[in-house]
Chain A
Amino acid sequence: MTLLARITDAVVGHHRALVLGGVIGALWIAPGYLGEYGAQILFRFLIALVLAEAWNLLGGYTGLVFLGTSSGVGIGGYVLVGLLNHSNLPLAIVIALAAAAGAVLAALAAPALLRLRGLYFTVGTLALAEILRLLMINSDRLGGATGLVLDRDPPELPGLLHLATALFAVGAAAQWFVSRGHVSVLLRAIRDDEDAARQLGVRAFRVKLSVLMAAMALMAAAGSIQALKLGAIEPYGMFGLRWSVDALSMVIIGGIGSRAGPAIGTAIVVLSGEWLADYPEVHLAMTGFLLVLVMRFAPRGLVGVGSALWRRWRPGRAQTT
């Protein structure tokens, strides 16, 4: 093999990494070119995309339908505001600690959540989210129903966008890590037939626990950056069911099990949310309706619909099929 062919191979083999690197580079310099409004939407999109990717680790790669996104987001937000108000730790450390809090919460809840698979896991995650919300509403030391206010000024929007971009890069790396090699085989084995996987020596509990901790850490980090932007948090918002609805819907609507799916689903949900900004109930009802329709008619999401259409209408293929 010539050197040239080798180089071409290496480039083609890693073109996804290159594309991703290009996207991240573009996002990094984007704040300078976007207006205030565009930057706001980009921020919302990035936070939502991280949540969708974290959900996809569980729902898409491991087959665990998760309804506890709000518990991760809420924990992250509260840990960030608490730490920033009561310590002088640098911001990066605080966000890392918020992510760690999400992972610890996952580890604590795992004995209850992961003992039974499938249906009970899903309802258990919903219960966890509700418990945390009730605790926050009722505990006066943590601000009760009115919540907490950040003592210091949050960073400007470009700084927040850089944080969100960095987190997106971490999320993309996690996605990349679980979608190749040994790890992807483990996850697929557990998703498709957990009993058979156990028989072959897969430590299912450990693998699922690791994925749950990673996903919750990402969700908590996203929640902490969201809280940093808001500057004031309250339990109804930070622990609201809405986060859980969005994360699940974005992945399912875009297309579960595909890489582009979560990004496309996130774009649809975030942009339609912007369009219906004055009618949040209409937006949520519409998202739920779209979710039901996609489940029924397009099991592989809009990406699946798109690729099926592409295959049918691609020029030159029409006669042969």
Chain B
Amino acid sequence: MIGPEAIANSLIAGVLLGGMFALTALGLSLVLGVLRLVNLAHGDFLVVGAYGGFYLLALTGLDPLLGLPVVAVAFALLACPIYLWLVRPLMARGVEAPMMTMFGISVVLQNVFLLAFSANTRSIETSYSARAWTLGPISIGWMYLIGFSISLVAVGAIHLLVSRTAFGRDLRASAQDPVAASIVGINVARVHTLTFALGAACAGVGGTLMGLAFSFTPASGAAYLLNSFAVVVLGGLGSVFGTLVAGIAIGVLQSLGGVVLGDGYRDAVALVVFLVVLALRPQGLMAGRR
């Protein structure tokens, strides 16, 4: 029998985890909404972020949390050539071609991780990663709290960027109708490049946070990708708030699923939710509530 403390603990952990899921899913959702591109390498971008945090700490001793801005900028810069050279030339050939290119990149990244970093499971050991904050029977990992807070700030910042700035206006217009947007003078190509870079930056930061909270392997990418995609489908495209709520919902379901069914089924929970939502309400549970 599972005690109430365990349930409460996993509920809280799930909510906090869900915040991080929201950030990683937002990167995927922006690219899907604006470019109509499923970035099948999104999960592997997250793994790059996790290894980035790991080696930043191992080689320079710099705390991965302090390195987050560096990670974000580096990811945005690295994403630009991938987009400009490999993805954009294919955009005119329909939605499948660029997606398959990202699949190829995903396969390359996964196997380069295996060759470069071995198949070993890694985790980023910091002074706070194993510590927990206890209040009676409730105990919350510090890393969960920190990750949740940083993700919430990042998600809020992206929300403001999309809803309040000139770039955000261009982005929304390009997402809605790229042809009309370019007619009224919006540089849609530039918006697309920047959106891809922004999506990659989300993946980098989210990946470092996930690497701090969980152990990871070179093959973690597929689970990360599908998890993010489940959040996107549940929350509907184009809604930052919906993504946040869906992220928390998936986080809670995963945590509870892990407690009730056993740890091996954690990842399966999000996948089942994903397929069920696709079967019942393919436009997303929260679509239409912008």
Contact = CB atoms under 8 A, between A and B. Distances in A.
Contacts of A296: 85-86, 89-90, 101
Contacts of A124: 274-275, 278
A288 B262 contact: no
B99 A289 contact: no
Chain A contact residues: over half helix, strand or loop, or mixed?
A: helix
B106 interface: yes
Interface stretch (A45-53, A78-86, A109-117, A208-216): A109-117
A130 B267 contact: yes
Contact of A285 (B89, B115, B229): B115
B128 interface: no
How would you classify the secondary structure of chain B's contact residues: helix, strand, loop or mixed?
A: helix
Interface in A41-98: 63, 65, 67
A126 to B, nearest CB: 7
Contact of B271 (A111, A131, A248, A284): A131
Contact of B108 (A138, A248, A285): A285
A156 interface: no
B282 interface: yes
A115 B40 CA distance: 20
B132 interface: no
Contact of A291 (B95, B100, B229): B100
B92 to A, nearest CB: 11
B115 A119 contact: no
A288 B278 contact: no
A120 interface: yes
Nearest to A109: B275
B115 A241 contact: no
Given A288-B103, A292-B104, 6 more contacts: A65-B100, A115-B282, A122-B38, A249-B107, A288-B105, A296-B101
Closest 10 CB pairs of A and B: A288-B107, A291-B104, A285-B111, A112-B279, A138-B264, A292-B104, A288-B108, A112-B275, A281-B111, A134-B268
Interface of A: 63, 65, 67, 109, 111-113, 115-116, 118-120, 122-124, 126-128, 130-131, 134-135, 137-138, 241, 245, 248-249, 252, 281-282, 284-285, 287-289, 291-292, 295-296, 299
Interface of B: 32, 36, 38, 40, 85-86, 89-90, 93, 95-97, 99-101, 103-108, 110-112, 114-115, 222-223, 225-226, 229-230, 233, 262, 264-265, 267-268, 271-272, 274-276, 278-279, 282
